[in-house]
């Protein structure tokens, strides 16, 4: 019997590789958790906050910095994945379609993907692209956790107001609200909650379900 690492702590975090598509990703030998959301929502910052590294995932105030699928190995035991952002104003149709194909392949072929954290900015109203992405997950019965980012940039009142608006819009689409966490990479709010979800979900990974590849 091994002692559970509770509460989950990050003891090691290593950048593994950047991949242009799912086929280049590391072997599916460990459970993995993806972070997805519009450009600039705070995906890379959240990964850095979770791993307690200021520069593990590259952050930028210029949208579109992360164009590849980036794998990070945590505690030698599971992967965090920083996915390319979407929703640029000036993106060509061709690049958008490429992104959609890359994402669909990643979501459906990456059999070790246990959960996706879908990030939305807690300061802005629900965006069509985010709601569509959640619908895609729902229709395909893929699990996700909704993450409200940058909560430090709002007063408690304004945050409450925005959450109520968001929940009401979600309830038009969903019978019940998806699991959600309010986070801030600055104040570290919600970081342990994300880690707790990962800790609870890790046992769902069954390596026997992954086909052997050389």
What residue ranges bind ligand GTP (CB under 6 A)?
A: 37, 39-45, 59-61, 63-66, 85, 149-150, 152-153, 184-186
Q: Tell me the closest approach of the beta carbon of residue 182 to ligand GTP, in angstroms.
A: 10
> Which partner from the list Mg ion, ligand GTP, none does 189 bind, CB cut-off 5 to 8 Å by kind?
none
> Which partner from the list ligand GTP, Mg ion, none does 71 bind, CB cut-off 5 to 8 Å by kind?
none
In sequence order, what E strands does the chain have? 13-19, 32-37, 69-74, 78-82, 113-121, 144-149, 180-182
Residue nearest to ligand GTP (CB): 85
Q: Tell me the closest approach of the beta carbon of residue 34 to Mg ion, in angstroms.
A: 13
End-to-end CA distance of the chain: 30
What span, in angstroms and rounded, lies between the C-alpha atoms of 60 and 42?
A: 9
Q: Tell me the closest approach of the beta carbon of residue 212 to ligand GTP, in angstroms.
A: 34
What span, in angstroms and rounded, lies between the C-alpha atoms of 79 and 70?
A: 10
Q: Tell me the closest approach of the beta carbon of residue 149 to ligand GTP, in angstroms.
A: 5
- Looking at the Cβ atoms of 2 and 157, the one nearer to ligand GTP is 157
Q: Can you name the residues that pair with 35 across neighbouring β-strands? A: 82, 117
- Looking at the Cβ atoms of 61 and 176, the one nearer to ligand GTP is 61
- Sheet strand arrangement including 32-37: 13-19, 69-74, 78-82, 32-37, 113-121, 144-149, 180-182
What span, in angstroms and rounded, lies between the C-alpha atoms of 120 and 131?
A: 10
Residue nearest to Mg ion (CB): 44
- Looking at the Cβ atoms of 160 and 186, the one nearer to ligand GTP is 186
**Segment 65 to 84, residues that bind Mg ion, using CB under 5 A:** 66
Does residue 44 bind Mg ion (CB under 5 A)? Answer: yes
- Looking at the Cβ atoms of 28 and 102, the one nearer to ligand GTP is 102
- Looking at the Cβ atoms of 28 and 120, the one nearer to ligand GTP is 120
Task: Give the Å distances, CA to CA, from 145 to 4, 24, 27, 59, 210.
Answer: 23, 26, 24, 22, 23
Task: Give the Å distances, CA to CA, from 26 to 69, 72, 89.
Answer: 11, 10, 32
What span, in angstroms and rounded, lies between the C-alpha atoms of 84 and 38?
A: 8
Does residue 40 bind Mg ion (CB under 5 A)? Answer: no
Residues that bind Mg ion (CB under 5 A): 43-44, 66
């Amino acid at each position: 019997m091994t002692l559970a690492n509770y509460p989950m702590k990050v003891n090691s975090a290593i950048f593994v590789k950047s991949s242009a598509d799912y086929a280049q990703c590391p072997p599916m030998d460990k459970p993995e958790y993806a972070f997805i959301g519009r450009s600039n929502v705070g995906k890379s910052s959240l990964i850095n906050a979770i791993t307690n590294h200021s520069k593990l995932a590259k952050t930028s105030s210029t949208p579109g910095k992360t164009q590849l699928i980036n794998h990070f190995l945590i505690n030698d035991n599971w992967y965090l994945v920083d996915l390319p952002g979407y929703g640029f104003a000036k993106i060509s149709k061709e690049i958008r379609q490429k992104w959609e194909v890359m994402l669909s392949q990643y979501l459906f072929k990456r059999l070790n993907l246990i959960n996706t954290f879908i990030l939305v900015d807690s300061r802005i109203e629900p965006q069509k692209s985010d709601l569509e992405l959640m619908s895609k997950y729902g229709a395909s019965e893929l699990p996700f956790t909704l993450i409200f980012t940058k909560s430090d940039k709002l007063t408690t009142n304004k945050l409450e107001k925005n959450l109520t608006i968001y929940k009401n819009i979600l309830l038009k689409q969903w019978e019940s609200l998806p699991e959600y966490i309010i986070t801030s990479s600055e104040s570290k709010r919600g970081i342990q909650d994300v880690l707790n979800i990962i800790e609870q979900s890790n046992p769902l990974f069954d390596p026997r379900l992954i086909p052997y590849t050389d």
